[in-house]
Amino acid sequence: MRSDAPFYAVMIALSAFYVFMIVAMVAADLGYTTPDRLLSVIVDSPYIRQSIRLSLISCTITAILSVWVAVPIGYLMARHRFRGKALVDTILDIPIVLPPLVVGLSLLILFQYRPFAWIADRVVFEVPAVILAQFMVACAFSVRTMRIAFEQISPRPEQVALTLGCTRNQAFWSVVLPEARGGVLTAGTLAWARALGEFGPILIFAGSMRGNTEVLPTTVFLEFQAGNLHEALAVSIVMIIVAMIVLIVTRMFGAERSML
Amino acid sequence: MIEVQNLCVRAGTFELRDVCFTVPQGRYGVLMGRTGCGKTTILESLAGLKPVTGGAVRLMGMDVTHLKPAERGIGYVPQDGALFSRMTVREHLAFALRVRKWKETRIGERVSELAELLGIAPLLARKPQGLSGGERQRVALGRALSFQPGILLLDEPLSALDDETRSAMYDLLQRAQRHEHVTALHITHSHDEASRLGDCLLRLESGQVREVPLDQARGNVTPHKAVAP
């Protein structure tokens, strides 16, 4: 009988190559600088500090908004059949497949039309544009996560709650949502992580004004363009550390099937 | 009393038409039939979880055909218990009473009474994870009976239990039904279960429900060896 060894050798070699490349990439970043230099870059640059602050605030707001929108959409898509569901499903995936720059450009054009045009002065190229650009992409991932979470929960407990005297609203809040708690947390974390890395739509829709609409990916881009490799790297390492924390938290809450 | 008149219900491509049967007040009805013949569909229609396309359902003399599940006054025990994973056993027993805004002292009394009746007092602080199959079904039964419904619907509640636990559950179900003065409809495909529990036996065959005489049903069953709980 022929050996299975060649089969596994090819499988393992290809897997090992990709895992090695990921680890090597991160290790190269970490090895290129020192913790002292990293700290001094962050402490010395008011733009980078402001960029970190805006990223943390905008990502948190985006995550909260995404969960608020993703929970009802995920629930309806998981539990109900309705006319046009396939079309809605496709529309919900558009932000995932659309090139990020196109999302930004589309938002920019959308705000030329009323009623959006009425508030364009306060939104476009301002901080709200950062949040809206992050939200438009991050929310799509949260929707996917919440849909999977609700699909994994049996409808039976909800039905039992209805027979026990609950309205649909009471059953949702007292039975369904607590059961989906892990999914909610994963959806929020995932939206946060996606928002942190969002660059294309922000560049077009919010601009790259230093200290104003500058978020971490913008900082990496601006510092790199100015030839400040160490500054760009320092910000990149901050993002890597945050991404690792998010990954660990998400894994802890069983998000193997999420899109992280 | 459960009265089903010319019930028509559809579930995907599956359809039941003109189903009629009655379970008299205070009796323990058992609906038998092969897997996939539509027993659960009928039960869900009675519970209001599946919309009917025709006919009428009367529970305790009231037409509930188009009422929401919450308005029907039925206790429902699904096959797997469908316990709420984030709640303790005590919270399960108190759930329907809190929805009805009972006073906490009354809720406490009712929870104690049910826990005693069903032998789950030592489990009150526990969550569903780690409960045995029999314990889960006792909790599901207690939750369904908590608000003193007139009707109890049980969807193959014993199918996942081992023989010994099932035998103990027979006695418990009968005791609970008599104690709570509830009219029960219990779905099963087990002749043994039907003959041990039912005092009104029904069989669903070819889309129609017919009553089975008790002596005929019990004649089909080999004598059951009782096992102490």
Give residues with Cβ within 8 angstroms of A133, minimum separation 6: A103, A104, A107, A198, A201, A202, A204, A205, A206
Q: What is the pLDDT of residue A107?
A: 92
Task: Give, for B112, the enclosing helix (H) or strand (E).
Answer: helix B104-118
3-state secondary structure of A114: coil
Q: Length of chain B in residues, anyone?
A: 229
Q: The tokens of B186 are what?
A: 């219990």
Q: The tokens of A11 are what?
A: 């499988």
How confident is the prediction along chain A (260 residues), in pLDDT tens digits per residue? 678 888 999 999 999 999 999 999 989 888 888 888 888 887 888 888 888 889 989 999 999 999 999 999 999 999 988 889 999 999 999 998 999 889 999 999 999 898 988 888 888 888 899 999 999 999 999 999 999 999 999 999 999 999 999 999 999 999 999 999 888 988 998 899 889 989 989 998 988 888 788 899 998 998 888 888 888 888 899 888 888 887 787 777 655 444 44
The Cα of B221 is separated from the nearest Cα of chain A by a number of Å equal to 32
C-alpha angle with apex A79: A153 to B157, nearest 5 degrees?
50
Which among A157, A165, A166 is the nearest to B82, CB-wise? A157
From residue B183, alpha-carbon distances to A160, B111, B141 in Å are 18, 21, 14
From residue A169, alpha-carbon distances to A72, A160, A166, B77 in Å are 12, 14, 8, 21
Q: What is the pLDDT of residue B223?
A: 43
Q: What is the pLDDT of residue B218?
A: 62
From the number of C-beta atoms within 10 Å of its C-beta (0-12, 13-18, 19+), residue A51 rates as buried
DSSP code of residue A191: H
Task: Give, for B209, the enclosing helix (H) or strand (E).
Answer: strand B208-212
Are A149 and A179 a contacting pair, CB within 8 Å? no
Rounded to the nearest 5°, which phi and psi values hold at A70?
-70, -35
CA A65 – CA B128 distance, rounded (Å): 33
Are A138 and A37 a contacting pair, CB within 8 Å? no
Rounded to the nearest 5°, which phi and psi values hold at A99?
-60, 135
Q: Cβ separation of A157 and B84 shorter than 8 Å?
A: yes
Give residues with Cβ within 8 angstroms of A97, minimum separation 6: none
Low-confidence ranges of chain B (pLDDT < 70): 215-229
Q: Cβ separation of B76 and A166 shorter than 8 Å?
A: no
Instruction: Determine the residue among A160, A166, A181 to mutate to test chain B binding: the one whose Cβ has the most chain B Cβ atoms within 10 Å.
Output: A160
Contacts of A156 in chain B (CB under 8 A): 78, 80, 82
CA A178 – CA A171 distance, rounded (Å): 10
> pTM above 0.95?
no
Q: Cβ separation of A157 and B147 shorter than 8 Å?
A: no
The Cα of A181 is separated from the nearest Cα of chain B by a number of Å equal to 10
Q: Cβ separation of B70 and A166 shorter than 8 Å?
A: yes
Contacts of A181 in chain B (CB under 8 A): 86
Q: What is the pLDDT of residue A259?
A: 47
Q: The tokens of B159 are what?
A: 């199918």
Give residues with Cβ within 8 angstroms of A143, minimum separation 6: A69, A70, A73, A74, A77, A92, A187
Q: What is the pLDDT of residue A174?
A: 94
What ipTM was assigned to the predicted interfaces of this complex?
A: 0.88
